[in-house]
Structure 1
Amino acid sequence: MSDVTIFAPSPLLTVTVEQVEGSDEIHIHAGGQGVWQARMLRSLGIDVTVCCALTGEIGSVLRDRIAHEGVTVSAVERAGRGAAYVHDRRGGEREEIAEQEGDPLNRHDLDELYSLTLRDGLEAGLVVLSGPAGEGTLPADLYRRLASDLRQAGARVVVDLAGERLAAALEGGVDVLKVSHEEVIDDGLAEDASVERLLPAMHELRSRGAGAVIVTRASDPLLFLDDDGALQVASPDVVAADSRGAGDSLTAGVVAGLARGESLRDALTLGAAAGALNATHHGLGTGEGGAIERLREAVTVGEIPRGAPSDTPTAGRVSPDGLAALAEPPTDTDEKDPA
């Protein structure tokens, strides 16, 4: 039995071209929000099941790639086009060469995937609802139904969503919501990323169905709100190599803490450390567990007084060499630079 189940309806195949010592290297990996979260959870020693739809020949490759990372795959297999992209990173920045969104799930596929997620989610007792690779992959209302049914049956539900899918999940009710400040602003709930603007939005999100709310603010301290009040959580100000995937790693770190039996407030520090370390990598959802645990010691937490929000100082900048010094000698055997 896995510790955590992740609903990752439409994973994608990622093909990335690198240049190493003057020669081209091609890397093929599984990707997508739920897969990146699962990868980080595995780095933190958590057993994970990913519930997904695997489509066509791309799906066959994805099953192998996901399982290779030590993740249990619970899948609906179907014909058609799966989601994938090809990126060229030889010049130092990502350049999109090609992208395929993949075919939407039909009613039969949705019913089967729903049943798999309920079964595995209730067995684990802790479920992450993540988004699909394509906007048109599945109806948003599925998140309302899943959130409601899982919680009614006793599972804890964590969501990392935005837009219509977020609104649907809130209608069903969730234990923990993680969202970025950009997504809060895009939904018209706040005008900017200041504490004064975001805290009322977080109260609104709680009134709409979230037990606790985490709002990330890029390099600024994240905000947290629950029944006991509001916190700011500041990660060390790392030198980022690629900020993509840091939010998914943060979510995975929080969920890893919950799976270990930590309180949500304590789990926030593990999430902040996981997100910070991932930002120093080019690979998404990557980070050596020992380094994350050591970096966690540099995360700072401060209460936000009721009615008087104010920013707390961030921790000092940590260089890549400094991050390496935080970790014990690595024993990581994962593939090089998942992307």
Structure 2
Amino acid sequence: MISTVTLNPSIDYLIEVDQFKVGAVNRTAQEKMFPGGKGINVSIVLKNLGVDNKALGFVAGFTGHEIDRLVEEHGVKSDFIELEEGLSRINVKLKSDEETEINGNGPAILDSHLKALYSQIDTLQSGDILVLAGSIPSTVPSDIYKRIMADFKERDIHVVVDATKDLLMNVLECGPFLIKPNHHELGELFGVTITTQDEVVEYAKKLQEKGARNVLVSMAGDGAVLVSETGEVLKHTGLKGEVKNSVGAGDSMVAGFIAGYIQHGSYEEAFKMGIATGSASAFSYNLATKEEVEALLKCL
């Protein structure tokens, strides 16, 4: 079983306005609503690729009910913990001459809620995959991902972490199966600017020295790099296409990698699947579909 954890999911409300004017009444040209959160994106793309999984996390209020409904509308099984107070956040993404985002804070998560999540995760069996993805709300411990992973040291659970800064660095000693920073985030971890694939390899290996097993680094239009636990260094300069929406492309790469690894047991095939899936989402206004991914795989 694959489970994803999104600690602070959202409703992403995408609005397009022609020539937005501050202080005036503006009419929308187009509106869309999506369930938001990196773990949820991974779940949806996995399901699109035919891989069953379960979405975990916290929801609250009427917005939480809508997140749950939207996730299940995509065919993803969910087992969100419903909080007694507060509202799941709404993130507003305004597209006009410039792009503007307004992100909500989300509800307070108490120790009792975290214990309920730990109980869910504790049911994972040997060989299962757990995806910990995205930023965390201010009401949970800053090392929450590390705390979750601490119980897995003696269990054969493949943990995938897609996070940034200390949230990522804290988990390395627990030996995550896969981490996926982009090249900007990788540079931030070491206080450097990374522009080439050779530099990505250099610093990805430093993360392996700290405990990561496999390091997958996305580089937007410049491709991706995988440094695997078997010593393989795989590089790709990226697929060519019109980028329509970069939101969710990194999450889609994670989902594609997992799907490819499950299907083939090969890091090379997982890497290809990750590239194709991330690109398929970037080249579409929605998250990647199986048909889009299969079409791009023929280009690799």
TM above 0.5, one fold?
yes
Within-5 A mapping of 1:1-339: 3-18=1-16, 24-78=29-83, 79-89=85-95, 91=96, 94-96=99-101, 98-119=102-123, 121-122=124-125, 125-132=128-135, 134-188=136-190, 190-226=192-228, 227-283=230-286, 286-299=287-300
Tell me whether 23-32 or 57-66 shows the greater mean CA deviation: 23-32
Contact in 2 for aligned 1:13/1:28 (Cα 8 Å): yes
8 Å contact from structure 1 (residues 15, 29) kept in 2:
yes
| Partner SS state of residue 269, structure 2 | helix
Aligned length: 290
**Residue 336 (structure 1) aligns with:** none
* Contact 1:148/1:173 (8 A) holds in 2: no
| CA distance in 1 between partners of 2:288 and 2:137 (Å) | 28
Aligned to 1:326: none
- Could you tell me whether the CA contact under 8 Å between 2:126 and 2:156 is conserved in 1? no
How far did 1:249 drift?
Answer: 0.7
Cα deviation code 1:83-115 (max 9, x no counterpart) = 2112333x376433x431112311111111122
Identity percentage over the alignment? 24
Q: Please give the secondary structure, in 2, of the residue aligned with 1:187.
A: helix
**Shift of residue 195, structure 1, vs aligned partner:** 3.0
Deviation at 1:125, TM superposition (A): 0.5
| Unmatched 5+ stretches in structure 1 | 300-339
For 1:126 and 1:194, the matched residues in 2 are separated by 31
Evaluate the alpha carbon distance shift between residue 58 and residue 209 of structure 1 in structure 2; reply closer, same or farther with a 3 A threshold: same
Q: Secondary structure at the match of 1:37?
A: helix
The 3 A distance-change label for structure 1 pair 104 and 164 is farther
- Displacement of 1:23 in angstroms is 7.7
After TM superposition, the score normalised by the length of structure 2 is: 0.88
> What is the rounded CA distance, in whole Å, between the counterparts of 2:144 and 2:249 in structure 1?
26
Gaps of 5+ in 2: 19-26
Cα distance change of structure 1 residues 173 and 140 upon mapping to structure 2, 3 Å threshold:
farther
Shift of residue 229 of structure 1?
Answer: 3.0
Q: Does the C-alpha gap of structure 1 residues 110 and 255 become closer, same or farther in structure 2, counting only changes over 3 Å?
A: same
Contact 1:146 1:172 in 2 (8 A): no
- Equivalent residue number for residue 314 of structure 1: none
Distance across 1 between alignment mates of 2:103 and 2:223:
33
SS of the aligned residue for 1:122 comes to coil
CA contact (8 A) 2:7 2:137 kept: no
Distance 1:149 1:261 in 2: 28
CA distance in 2, matches of 1:287, 1:219: 17
Measured after TM superposition, the shift of residue 17 of structure 1 is 2.8
Distance 1:287 1:93 in 2: 25
Q: In structure 2, give the amino acid aligned to 1:36.
A: N
Q: Once structures 1 and 2 are overlaid, which stretch shifts more, 271-280 or 253-262?
A: 253-262
- d(CA) in 2 for partners of 1:83, 1:46: 28
Separation of aligned partners in 2, 1:235 and 1:130: 23
CA pair 268-126 structure 1, distance change in 2 beyond 3 A: same
SS in structure 1 of the partner of residue 213 of structure 2: strand
Richer in strand (by share): 1
Which amino acid in the other structure matches residue 9 of structure 1?
Answer: L
Map Cα deviations across residues 68-94 of structure 1 (whole Å, 9 max, x no partner): 1111111211121322112333x3764
Q: Cα RMSD between the aligned structures?
A: 2.3
Cα distance per residue 1:219-275 (max 9 Å; x no partner): 113111123231202331211112222111111100111232432221110110011
| 1:179 counterpart SS class | coil
**What is the TM-score of this pair, normalised by structure 1?**
0.79
- The letter of the residue matching 1:102 is G
Deviations 1:186-208 (A, max 9, x none): 12254322233222211110011
Q: Distance in 2 between matches of 1:71 and 1:214?
A: 25
